[in-house]
A and B are shown apart, each in its own frame.
Chain A
């Protein structure tokens, strides 16, 4: 991913932190007093058994859900007070792909691009090619395999130049090639001083970058 290496010098310092987060679902405390601080180029991996609140935590971190207590700061500013600014810098890929089955791969990326602040230096067909979907440009998402749909969802990360990636089980249904592709993308993102938060059961072996672990 050469694109991230050239942009390094243009970037200001970013930080992402959470203070004393508490999440209660159905009268059960999923986590409390959870906090971390991530700086440029760092990766946070969240682990835990099913139902331990990984997805809840990620939804809180990306601003979709409110924590029962605590605050989340992007560049030392509360994300709820600076919602639009935060959304310009953050990409979230949930465990559902957020793609429309009726639309083709390219149409899905086009709408995602319209909704985001797009990165003009890379064209949508190029992104599809990078994700190994070159020959499926005009295939309706309905006809793609689940692994290919996952790749299409992850392709959204390349449309934008967001500094913070929040990924919920990004490796689900990916084959070995796809997994390696995803690891390379996270490595390149970290090398370009981006911050990644991901929930996954697999160990992500990304060399040369600081990985923080949280076990829920």
Chain B
């Protein structure tokens, strides 16, 4: 978050240069050290967060009322099934031993064994990761490319019909659920016109067009919410910046509007926009699970849904850990990017 980043800067960097010390020395020595310390601190701060995630994922299975093995096995299970799951999950050991060995295996990259398929969860996740990553990246690219220009435009023409139209679309984007939008797209582009394949996923190795054509609809469905989120934040952040004195100065000295908007305003409005892109990843992950179901894309979302239906808890645990780690990592990168986006932020 930008506020915490600014608040967290060391007081030393804001002081005027001390007499007897050259300006360049101060810049060259103190700043990178402070920044390095900040980066290390920020990276270390992800450890307690991931520890809580791990505790939650582990605790869920054991704090829930009843025998977790019986819940996983379902209503039609025989005692032998339950005993097998007991053994597979190591449920007969004391809780702290279970937690210790679970974390130990986790730190060695072992997410356990799937109850249904008997395959390692890491293998199952690795098999499914490509479509999900492709879909996520294409969605972020499309939503950023669409949302930032229209957000800038809305702020520039604040109060006009352009602004109002953009805001209406933003509210609509928040409100139409991703699977409803997905079905509207399927109806328009696959059922009625046959322009795009209805569902499935084709890897990049089978050619660029097959790969892209399968990605178009899921990406559009997912990008709507993201674009709404980013466009609203871009507009809000731009409105703040456009009210600043230096924007008036830039306009007064006769710079063309485009240069003022992009070079002066957008550059200074970038931090909140980057933040919202990072936070929006959580929403995107939720959307991916649904979108993959609608379009029958064999990704992590589809794996999650299959795991729910089979109550394959080790897979659900693994997926929550992977998705949360990805979310934490992306937001770490966003936080670290503030230094480049806004050189005034010093730590």
A complexed with B: no
